[in-house]
Amino acid sequence: MFAREADEVFDENRGSRPFEGVETQALLWFMEQRPAMADITVDDRVCGPVGQFLGPDFLWSNSAGHRYVGDTAMHGDQAQSNIPRHVKVVMYTEPLTRETGCLRFIPGSHKPEYQERLKPLMSQCDHPDSAPFGVPGRDVPTYPVETQPGDIVMFSEHVWHGAFGGGSGRRQIGWVYGANPATEEELAALRRFHTGVIAMFHPHESFLKSEDPRVRRMVQPLVELGLA
């Protein structure tokens, strides 16, 4: 059911035109567009682990769907950046292995001193054929997280990650939760971040109007803070 509804959302976004596989299709506020998919974002099997990472009063951030074309170069947010503490969750609608486009992670890459050494890899985002360490992106030492439909992967965007070898049009559905600010400094950082992004911590209308108490608990603090 999840795969079918995801395809419906992708198809509607394309105006029912066939997916041509020429460029990646990206769609913000994805899970919010179907009640059954929105239910997954508040499922205890997801929110339980998220609460262990972020605390029980975590906030809703956003969701997005992608139909990827080609490789995704290694990338990650800088640990020193002002992106609020968060957990990203992703699902795929098809089995993925190391050779067919599963997520790969560079262990320890959330540490600032390691990130500095990895910066040359960013050149591969614009120039996929570059090899700053003498190897192409697909040969950079990583830990692959192979998945089956129904599996979820949780991580922080501070950890460098990428995907290589996947087929054209592979579907990734992802959503993000953020920590509720505990200090004035964290609140100020959230406000600065909020003003510079389109979707993160900008709740979709369907969530703002939701009568589900689990959804309301995640978005009401954003309303009270004047962020929604």
Tell me how far apart the alpha carbons of residues 2 and 177 are, in angstroms, rounded to a whole number. 20
> According to the model, what pLDDT value does residue 85 have?
87
The whole-number average pLDDT for the span 62-73 is: 95
When pLDDT is cut at 50, 70 and 90, the band that residue 84 belongs to is confident
pLDDT over 90 (residue 80): no
Measured in degrees and rounded to the nearest 5, phi and psi for residue 89 equal -120, 135
Tell me how far apart the alpha carbons of residues 221 and 217 are, in angstroms, rounded to a whole number. 7
- For the chain, domains (ranges, CATH) are 2-224 (2.60.120.620)
Share the mean pLDDT of the chain. Answer: 93
> According to the model, what pLDDT value does residue 125 have?
87
The answer to whether 124 touches 74, Cβ cutoff 8 Å, is yes
pTM score: 0.93
pLDDT, one tens digit per residue, over 108-135 is 999 988 988 998 998 898 888 899 999 9
pLDDT, one tens digit per residue, over 132-189 is 999 999 999 999 999 999 999 999 999 999 999 998 999 999 999 999 999 998 999 8
